[in-house]
Amino acid sequence: MVATSTSKAPFGRVLTAMVTPFTADGALDIDGAQRLAVHLVDAGNDGLVLNGTTGESPTTTDAEKDDLVRAVVAAVGDRARVIAGVGTNDTAHSVALARRAESSGAHGLLTVTPYYNKPSQEGLYQHFTAIADSSGLPVMLYDIPARSGVPIETETIVRLAEHPRIIANKDAKGDLAAASWAISRSGLAWYSGEDMLNLPMLSIGACGFVSVVAHLVAADLCALFEAYTGGDVTKAAEIHQRLLPVITGIFRAQGVVTTKTALALRGLPAGPVRLPLVGLGAAQTEQLKQDLAAGGVDL
């Protein structure tokens, strides 16, 4: 048996960072969201993250976020953990979103590093602490400096881990050395937030994935996880390599745009993206089809 922290996966092991389906005219598609959530859980996901980056959180209203959480909890909340993204670059706003997510039935919170205003590490510490203090829900930090502009440094992660409700981190930093130290020192449940690093993250102690490609290949990710934790590293590597075209294809362009295109090609609820995002062109769509086919995804 390979030694990992897989016994500590409080939000599940394979989670999809779910898109927010819209109708053709751009309105929130509640029925579509429920159907997509059921499909994703049936496919093997044991958690769903709503209102995150892939959920187009910057362009959905607070009321839409509430409605989405309530709808998905009603559809699959008895079978999967529903995690609500509440991260903004305004601490008071994030606190309000956290309280609303709790009242809407979410099982946990995802809190991204504040973006654009580039706070200090002390500012990050106080921001995340205020959110964790504001509700009774467990919290997953989300470290993605390529989008936020500021990393959560290891010392800050260790400090935050002392909070009783901050129990996990979604790591999209892309730094395995930093992750190794932070996992070792913080004791947090660690989730890979970068699909290309799902397998390497398991090797240093991650307990699961918060994935975009799990919209399409959740069963494969479950098989990868089970193979690795069951000691069959060769099989896990084979699955990882087979999925490389899918991962590459989904991230050739903005992940929300490609994922919604892929879902639409498969007849699943997705709808358009909201500005400033725009849909794929014909050439990009054809490339995506080729990438998905190369990775074994049926369209």
DSSP letter (8 states) at residue 139: E
Q: Is 116 a catalytic residue?
A: no
Q: Which residues contact 70 (CB under 8 A, 6 or more apart)?
A: 104, 105
Residue closest to 192 by CA, chosen among 178, 177, 211: 211
Residue 269 contacts residue 32 (beta carbons within 8 Å): yes
Among residues 170, 191, 228, 260, the one annotated as catalytic is 170
Residue 264 contacts residue 216 (beta carbons within 8 Å): no
In the chain, % helix, strand, coil (3-state, to 5) comes to 50, 15, 35
Strand locations in the chain (E): 14-17, 47-50, 81-85, 108-112, 139-143, 166-171, 189-192, 208-211
**Cα–Cα distance between 138 and 83 in angstroms, integer?**
9
Q: Is 84 left (phi over 0), alpha (psi -120 to 50) or beta?
A: beta
Alpha helices in 164-232 (DSSP H): 176-186, 198-203, 214-229
Q: How crowded is residue 78: how many other Cβ atoms within 10 Å of its Cβ? A: 8
Determine whether 282 is exposed, middle or buried from the number of CB atoms within 10 Å of its CB (0-12, 13-18, 19+).
exposed
Q: Is 118 a catalytic residue?
A: no
- In sign, the C-alpha dihedral spanning 214, 72, 95, 275 is positive
- In sign, the C-alpha dihedral spanning 36, 167, 152, 86 is positive
Among residues 65, 115, 125, 142, the one annotated as catalytic is 142
Query: Which residues are the active-site residues?
Result: 142, 170
